[in-house]
Amino acid sequence: MNHPADVSLLAASPWWRSDPGTSLVIRGGSRLVGTYPISGAKNAVLPLMVSALLTPHLVTLHNVPASLDVAVLSNLLQRLGVGLNWSSNGRTGLSLTLCADQVHPARIDRDLVGRMRASVLLLGAVLARCGEACLPMPGGDAIGLRGIDFHVAGLRAMGAEVDITGGVIHAKAPRGLRGAEVALPLPSVGATENLLLAAVLASGRTVIRNAAREPEIADLVHCLAAMGAQIEGVNSDVLSIAGGRPLIGAVHTVLPDRIELGTVACAVAVTGGEVMLQRARADLLGAAGPALAAAGVVLENVDGGLLARRSSAGITGIDLHTRPYPGFATDLQSPVMAMLATAKGASAVTETIFEQRFRHVDELRKMGANITVHGRTAWVRGVERLTAARVTATDVRAAAALVLAGLGAKGDTILDGLDHLDRGYDRMADKLVACGAVITRSSA
Ligand code: UD1
């Protein structure tokens, strides 16, 4: 099953190849009405795919989102020797079966790693499985410093020798990893996942304190538990892992994407209309749930998902701080800001997770938004309506924010930097078009 043709399902779709010259043309003003299927979560599927490296047995994932990050990670895993088999059906969406009966630790591709921050997760899993790993420094969105010091310190505490020279991380654990007590300085999502992946194969008990509590981590814990791992403390900030047991295969359905849910709900609030967000779960939103409600986004629980619409009072300004889960998700900060740009009244949006996550502000200003940034807070004074402009996405979530802004704006917005949208979302533009949005791809 290990040959490139196995990704044909991915390769056949237009979203797979994000031609750098392609832009999105978004005609503002159409109401969104219809059904929008929420895909499997981007931030859940990546660590789940990596977890397959921990066992020689088959791991099958259902509800896999068709995003560029998934394609890049598929490619990386194939180069490591993992067999991939794709299938598709209407009920579970894309399914992926991974077979890591052999893993070749030396074959990690620098260019691919440079495209995606989550490739750092390969470090813990490959090291735990093979006793060594060699990984170029990971890339990803330019939204802040994004160090990997917590990942490295945790693996060192587990007995790994880690050396970073010439932009390459070399890690060795010739006698295997051993359980350790690790206290994270911040509840880092990636470091929690990396250490969790390493800990299930390490001998003895690992305790991760100040662990991140994002729902995507619980999803990974559930999949690892189905593979036979013993992990206590799911959904809490202390994870205790009894490691060292050989893992078996598992079948797991990826959690729905809470960031896509929040983003599309804001889009509906901006355009008006009513959209059924299929498979969406409001309980995953954390503090973003009440914040969206306060801003005028109505989410009604219905059979099979959530019904999204704008409240009769319209969109009103709110103040928010991004925080680790269950706080307001930093990944929703830019889409929500795009919505608040046309709210009644003013909003204060404070970003506490990433230092450079206001790069969408200049783009929103080109569209007529009234936003000023002071330190980590953006002051947003709502205007009547945005106007179309040519804008550029600089990261995954900024791309979604600019799509949202374009849907509400007067005229045709041209969005460049489309690969960012395709990296994080499963055919978002196509799914919006099915709800009445007027969006086309243009190579001009
Ligand atoms: C993950 C998500 C991303 C989300 C972010 C915060 C994935 C693939 N990506 O990113 O969408 O925005 O969580 O919810 O799941 N830090 C360090 N040293 C480290 C690790 C992190 O200083 O070793 C800092 C980061 O620079 C950042 C903060 O900790 O300021 C949080 O980062 P982290 O939670 O690790 O984010 P990611 O896992 O990169």
* CATH architecture, domain defined by 42-253: Alpha-beta prism (3.65)
Side-chain-side CA neighbours of residue 376 (13 Å): 13
CATH number for 14-38+256-442: choose from 3.40.640.10, 2.60.40.10, 3.65.10.10, 3.30.200.20.
3.65.10.10
pLDDT per residue over 229-278, tens digit each?
999 999 999 999 999 999 999 999 999 999 999 999 999 999 999 999 99
**pLDDT for 223:** 98
Q: Do 202 and 224 touch, CB atoms closer than 8 A? A: no
| Strand 238-243 relative to strand 230-232, pairing | antiparallel
What distances in angstroms separate CA 353 from CA 89, 104, 146, 218, 329, one per listed residue?
38, 35, 10, 20, 9
What distances in angstroms separate CA 76 from CA 23, 46, 225, 261, one per listed residue?
27, 11, 25, 28
Average pLDDT over the chain, rounded to whole? 92
Q: Which residue has the higher pLDDT, 91 or 194?
A: 194
Q: How far is the CA of 330 from the centre of ligand 1 (A)?
A: 10
Structure-token pair, residue 80: 């490591």
Q: Do 372 and 342 touch, CB atoms closer than 8 A? A: no
Query: What residues flank ligand 1, with Cβ below 6 Å?
Result: 43, 46, 117-118, 144-151, 186, 188-191, 212, 330-331, 353-354
**pLDDT for 18:** 54
**pLDDT for 1:** 33
pLDDT per residue over 339-393, tens digit each?
999 999 999 999 999 988 899 999 999 999 999 999 999 999 999 999 999 999 9
Q: Which amino acid is at 201?
A: L
pLDDT per residue over 378-424, tens digit each?
999 999 999 999 999 999 999 999 999 999 999 999 999 888 898 88
- 17 has a pLDDT exceeding 80: no
Q: How far is the CA of 113 from the centre of ligand 1 (A)?
A: 16
Q: Pseudo-torsion of CA 29, 30, 35, 38, nearest 10°?
A: -30
Identical fold, 14-38+256-442 and 42-253:
yes
Peptide bond into 326 cis (omega under 30): yes
Which region holds residue 431: left if phi is over 0, alpha if psi is between -120 and 50, else beta?
Answer: alpha
Protein residue with its CA nearest to atom 26 in ligand 1: 146
Q: What's this model's pTM, rounded to 2 decimal places? A: 0.94
Confidence of residue 14 (pLDDT cuts 50, 70, 90): very low
DSSP for 220-259, written as a single string: HHHHHHHTT-EEE-TTSSEEEEEE-PPP--EEEEPPB-HH
Q: How far is the CA of 40 from the centre of ligand 1 (A)?
A: 20
Domain definitions of the chain by residue range: 14-38+256-442, 42-253
What distances in angstroms separate CA 67 from CA 110, 149, 426, one per listed residue?
20, 28, 5
Structure-token pair, residue 145: 């410093």
Structure-token pair, residue 153: 């310190």
